[in-house]
Amino acid sequence: MAKFFKSDPRPANLSPGPETVGSETDRRATFVHKPSNGSILDRLPLLGNNTLSPLGEKIFLDRYALKDGSKSTLQTNDLVVALVDSATGQREIGTALAFNEGNVQVVLRDGTTLELPLEHVDKPVELTVEQMMDRAARGAAAVETSTPERQKWSENFRWLLDSWKFVPGGRILTACGTDQNLTFYNCYVVPSPGDSRDGIIETLSQMAEIMSRGGGVGINLSTLRPRYAYVRGVNGRSSGSVSWGGLFSFVTGLIEQGGSRRGALMLILNVWHPDILEFIRSKREAGKISNANISVGITDRFMQAVEEDLDWDLVFPDTTDIRYAEHWNGDMEAWQTMGGTVVTHKTVKAREIWNGIIESAWASAEPGIWFVDRCNKEANSWYYPEGRLVCTNPCGEQPLPAWAVCNLGHVNLSRMVHKGEVDWDTLGQTVRYAVRFLDNVIDATPYFFEQNARQQKDERRVGLGTIGLAEMLIRLGIRYGSSESVAFIERLYEFIATQAYEASSDLAVEKGKFPRFNAEKLLQSGFMQRMPESVRQKVAEQGLRNVTLLTQAPTGTVGTMVGTSTGIEPFYFWSYLRKSRLGVHEEKVSVVEEFQQAHPGQPLPDYFVNAMDLTPEEHVRVQAATQRWVDSAISKTCNVPSNYTIEQTRELYELMYRLGCKGGTIYRDKSRDEQVLHVQEAPKPAETSKPKVRPRPYKRRGVTVSKATPAGTAHIVMNDDEDGRPFELFIEIGKGGSDIKAMAEALGRLASLVLRVSSPLSPKERVQEIVKQLGGIGGPRSTGFGKTRVRSLPDALSQALEENYLGAEEELDVATPAYRQELLGETRDSLGLEAFVDLCPECGNTSFVFTEGCTTCYSCGHSEC
């Protein structure tokens, strides 16, 4: 076991060079890569091994191991991945025992035997991660130009993948090195729809084709004429951009990717569009947009208008302008520059729109914000029309031009720490090899749209990011979110950016510059003006292989597989209980378990912080420090407590803008509780008979009990009628639209019906029956201990009823904060921020959390991204 925790946790080697200059918050790395004699395979040791946890192994076998798709080689005693619940898509590992008329008898690892249809069983051909790594390394090296080069880079890429130093995107792990006709790319941006029925249907067709192959899609709706605009061809009025966004959203809900999850969609509308106020409210109004993430494209001029409290014109091109059909593509600045006519549909205060964005984000976590001008000014592709960034992918980390793609891979920072110090040599070589690996992906992957192939090969976009930042900081003894961490993160990501750009420049010498490269113009981008002069000079002299190189993507599935913190996020919690057919057992984050084994009985040091311990401002400052050295963007969630105010939300979003973030999203604990769905109900038919249920009296008296449960705090309202008899129950928990909230409402309604319906049992006897039926029901986790142990939401309701009506003791033991901090369901910081979890749609456990702009299950690894 590595002894990385020192008595003095502050490491000696945090800088990548012999010395640094400037203040603690403004030191710049001076590391210069020094090639050594001999092979990197001889010089740099492996940092660990490829061992996976049981959950990590299941994710590997289910998602990334090569399968025998025809099942022609399947025989008894073969290891299989079995679909054990077709409704949720839950899969488990087992062994094939026997075959019977199209069915397979499978014994799962917990001893359960099932008989399943053959189509519900997959046979992995690769049984070890080493086999997958061998395949992926060979596949990425296959595009090299000669046999010696292919052999050399197959070995180098194998070193890169070993010990999980580098984890390619999931599609690459699945498809690279196989003969399957599968894309290596996760996400796409398609052109904004043409402002006609044919144009909209064409975009819909493109979206559906990409989603059916498992890709996520981003669409900017700003090309579509606003609501009530005149449509000459049909002598009518347009239904507006939001209604068409609802169509894209509806179709997304119909498409299942790989049979297990819904398609992923991002819809963006720019802030000058006349439909913007309707768009901002669209996720909170029933029947508009429900199956998409939405963001507002924010311009610099708009932010200035907000700051100065100016009027803001909501505008759209004059659709009768003779240039409209041919030249309008959603770029308002270009349209006005060419002299296109613009119609002002409405003038409002800029702050009215800004306040609408803030209030909606506060209430329902959407819309996100995307600073479109900043992204384009920072972009290396700013100088050619096909490089204009029009939208982001569904998770927001990749602002892209039309037809561009996400080409993702992740350096595992948790493997770059030795004995409390950063191994800068290994990190630098890992980054360099990873750039070549992802550049090779561009030539190795199949393309299903010629436009994607042309765009990607003209630009050669690479999206190299990181996982394990939070674990790295813990191993270095640095508190995530502190000023020390911000200074270190700036140095770390500048080093990564320097290595990536130098590697791409060297590749340009060897293999050629990307076709759109123009040194003079590229070096004028906002990002390149920040780069060290040595890098700028190298790019000017040698060129660049890739127009972009860096990003920070959601990594819920691969991060969970390899057992480290995801993306640049902190750990969400330290431990959780996993339920299986063999019972419930606790699993802890590996770095916590390692510390506790090395220091039994000692509390976690102050630099062990998770998402619930951080202030929202600390989240943003980490994001901004990383963004400074990332040429694309970042997918990150800023978690805020339920009592966070609208004014604080406004200040946080404005802080994101001031610190240079390219976008952002917040998630306020229980934020969707306040969501109001405006639905006009159809008139109800007259009732022919009345059920024998006690009517609700005008006045009821009651008490409210708050109980910690594994799914969050439940507020249980118990009302009595005018005679003091138990009458009805209400249970509030979770966010609006979540499964746990729906189930809580159903539980309250059914219990209320039992109390109100005619029965020979007395009211007290009915309460006793409810308590007996619900008490002790166990879920995948519990909170508290002793008398206050709560096993599930039904168990919490049983206890509340018993305490209120059946004479339970008033004085109860209280779980200690330290114990709660170790449990999944009830982690809470001094701000009152609770770790809200929902029910996972795949495994059913209450461990489905919103982080990195995405929802991920910490029990089974299922991710919505």
Per-residue confidence (pLDDT) for residue 822, from 0 to 100 = 34
CA dist 472 and 414 (Å) reads 5
Instruction: Please give the Cα distance from 292 to 221 (Å, whole number).
Output: 13
SS3 167: strand
Of 302-311, 384-393, 643-652, 779-788, the poorest mean pLDDT is in: 779-788
3-state secondary structure 718-778: EEECCCCCEEEEEEECCCCCCHHHHHHHHHHHHHHHHHHECCCCCHHHHHHHHHHHHCCCC
406 token code pair:
């996400």
- Side-chain-facing half-sphere of 814: CA atoms under 13 Å: 5
Per-residue pLDDT band for 708 (boundaries 50, 70, 90) equals confident
Spatial separation of the C-alpha atoms in residues 90 and 113, rounded to whole Å: 16
To the nearest whole percent, how much of the chain has pLDDT over 90?
A: 57
By mean pLDDT, which of 215-219, 344-348, 760-764 is the weakest? 760-764
Tokens of 653: 């979003």
What is the predicted pLDDT for the residue at 520? 98
* Distance of alpha carbon 510 from alpha carbon 597, whole angstroms: 49
What is the C-alpha separation between 850 and 638, in angstroms, rounded? 10
Helix (H, G, I), strand (E, B) or coil at 172: helix
C-alpha–C-alpha distance, residues 705 and 714, integer Å = 8
Q: Say whether pLDDT at 679 is over 70.
A: no
Separation between Cα atoms, residue 558 and residue 193, nearest integer Å: 33
Q: Report pLDDT for 476.
A: 96
Burial (CB count within 10 angstroms: exposed 0-12, middle 13-18, buried 19+), residue 671: buried
pLDDT at 682 over 50: no
Gap between the Cα atoms of 630 and 632, Å rounded = 6
For residue 273, what are its two tokens? Answer: 């569009």
Pairing of strands 463-467, 637-640: unpaired
Most confident of 487-496, 678-687, 771-780: 487-496
Q: Which of 62-76, 243-257, 689-703, 748-762 has the highest mean pLDDT?
A: 62-76
C-alpha distances in Å from residue 849, one per residue of 358, 623, 644, 823: 22, 19, 19, 14
Which phi and psi angles does 638 have, rounded to 5°? -100, 105
Give the pLDDT mean for 64-85: 93
AA identity, residue 677:
L
The three-state secondary structure class of 571 is coil
Residue 690: predicted pLDDT? 45
Question: Does 313 or 563 have the greater pLDDT score?
Answer: 313
Q: What is the mean pLDDT of residues 495-511?
A: 98
- Per-residue model confidence (pLDDT) at position 31: 31
Please tell me whether residue 187 adopts helix, strand or coil conformation: strand
* Measured distance CA(115)–CA(108) in Å, rounded: 11
Q: What is the CA radius of gyration of the chain?
A: 28
pLDDT score for 810: 33
Per-residue pLDDT, averaged over 341-346, amounts to 96
User: pLDDT (tens digit, 9 = 90+) per residue, 546-572?
Assistant: 999 999 998 888 988 999 999 999 998
pLDDT of residue 45: 35
Name the residue with higher pLDDT: 401 or 28: 401
B/e letters for 827-856, b = 16+ CB within 10 Å, e = fewer, are bbbebebbbbbbbbbbbbbbbbbbbbbbbb
Check whether 619 has a pLDDT greater than 50. yes
Query: Distance from CA of residue 179 to its chain's centroid?
Result: 30
Asked if 493 contacts 531 with a C-beta cutoff of 8 angstroms, the reply is no
Delimit the domains of the chain by residue range.
67-125, 187-316+328-366+383-397, 701-821
CA distance 314 to 271: 8
pLDDT band per the 50, 70, 90 thresholds, residue 576: low
Give 39's pLDDT tier (boundaries 50, 70, 90): very low
How many whole angstroms separate alpha carbon 202 and alpha carbon 556?
Answer: 32
Angstrom CA distances, 334 to 330, 331, 340, 379, stand at: 9, 5, 9, 17
- Identical fold for domains 67-125 and 187-316+328-366+383-397, yes or no, is no
- Cβ atoms of 517 and 374 within 8 Å: the answer is no
Contact between 818 and 827 under an 8 Å Cβ cutoff? The reply is no
CATH hierarchy code of domain 187-316+328-366+383-397: 3.20.70.20
Asked whether the beta carbons of 792 and 778 are under 8 A apart, the reply is: yes
Nearest of 90, 77, 158 to residue 120 by alpha carbon: 90
User: Using the 8-state DSSP alphabet, how is residue 61 labeled?
Assistant: I
- Give the span between the Cα atoms of 472 and 455, in whole angstroms: 36
* Assigned token pair, 516: 């759109």
pTM here? 0.77
Query: Which of the residues 395, 406, 843, 865 is marked catalytic?
Result: 395
How much is the average pLDDT of 297-315? 97
**Confidence grade of residue 837 (pLDDT, cut at 50, 70, 90):** low
Helix (H) or strand (E) holding 135: helix 129-141
425 confidence band (pLDDT: 50, 70, 90)? very high
- Catalytic, 270? Answer no
> Is it the case that residue 447 has pLDDT exceeding 70?
yes
Active site residue 393: yes
The helix (run of H) or strand (run of E) holding residue 399 is strand 399-400
Of the given ranges (173-182, 436-445, 665-674), which has the lowest mean pLDDT?
Answer: 665-674
- Does the pLDDT value for residue 27 go beyond 70? no
Q: What is the 3-state secondary structure (H, E, C) of 279-296?
A: HHHHHHCCCCCCCCEEEE
Residue 46 clears pLDDT 50, i.e. is over it = no
Task: Please tell me which residue in 366, 378, 397, 842 is annotated as part of the active site.
Answer: 397
**Rounded percentage of the chain residues whose pLDDT exceeds 70:** 82
Model confidence at 731: pLDDT above 50 = yes
pLDDT at 584: 52
338 HSE (CA, 13 A, CB side): 14
Q: Give CA–CA dist 603/597, Å, rounded.
A: 12
Q: For residue 340, which of 329, 352, 353 has the smallest C-alpha distance?
A: 329
φ, ψ (nearest 5 deg) of residue 237? -120, 145
Task: Flag whether pLDDT at 146 surpasses 90.
Answer: yes
State how far the Cα of 512 lies from the Cα of 510, in Å rounded to an integer: 6
Task: Report phi then psi at 379, rounded to 5.
Answer: -70, 140
Question: 713 forms bridges with which residues in the sheet?
Answer: 708
The pair of structure tokens assigned to 227 is 């609501």
Least confident piece of the model among 86-90, 380-384, 727-731: 86-90
Question: Where do we find the tokens 């945090």?
Answer: 14
Written as one string, the DSSP assignment of 226-277 is PTT-EEGGGTEE---HHHHHHHHHHHHHH-EETTTEE--EEEEEETTSTTHH
Helices and strands in the chain: count of H runs, count of E runs: 28, 32
Instruction: Tell me what the mean pLDDT of segment 255-263 comes to.
Output: 58
pLDDT at position 819: 31
The CATH number of the structural domain formed by 67-125 is 2.30.30.140
Query: What's the rounded mean pLDDT across residues 139-163?
Result: 97
Q: Is the pLDDT of residue 4 over 60?
A: no
Token pair, residue 343, equals: 């119609």
pLDDT score for 846? 66
* Cα 97 from Cα 77, distance rounded (Å): 6
Is the confidence at residue 479, as pLDDT, over 80?
Answer: yes
Express each pLDDT in 382-419 by its tens digit: 999 999 999 999 999 999 999 999 999 999 999 999 98
What are the pLDDT digits (tens) for 803-834? 888 864 333 233 233 333 333 333 344 344 44
Highest mean pLDDT among 129-138, 224-233, 770-779: 129-138
Look up tokens 């949720």; give the residue.
88
Cβ-contact 77, 94 below 8 angstroms? no
Does 187 participate in catalysis according to the annotation? Answer: no
The mean predicted confidence, pLDDT, of the chain is 84
Query: Which residues are within 8 A (CB) of 6 and not within 5 positions of it... i.e. 6 or more apart?
Result: 420, 477
Give me the pLDDT at residue 672, please.
56
How do 265-270 and 216-220 pair as beta strands?
parallel
pLDDT exceeds 60 at position 354: yes
Query: pLDDT band at residue 689, thresholds of 50, 70 and 90?
Result: very low
Tell me the pLDDT band of 41, cut-offs 50, 70 and 90: very low
pLDDT value of residue 737: 63
pLDDT at 3 over 80: no
For residue 142 the two structure tokens come to: 């296959």
In this predicted structure, what is the pLDDT of residue 823?
32
Across the range 58-69, mean pLDDT stands at 93
Please state, in angstroms and rounded to a whole number, the distance separating the CA atoms of residues 353 and 338: 28
**209: which 2 tokens?**
């084709």
269 has pLDDT over 70: yes
Tokens of 360: 């909606």
Biggest CA-to-CA distance, the chain = 91
First to last CA, the chain: 34
- Of 156, 186, 293, 393, which is the active-site residue? 393
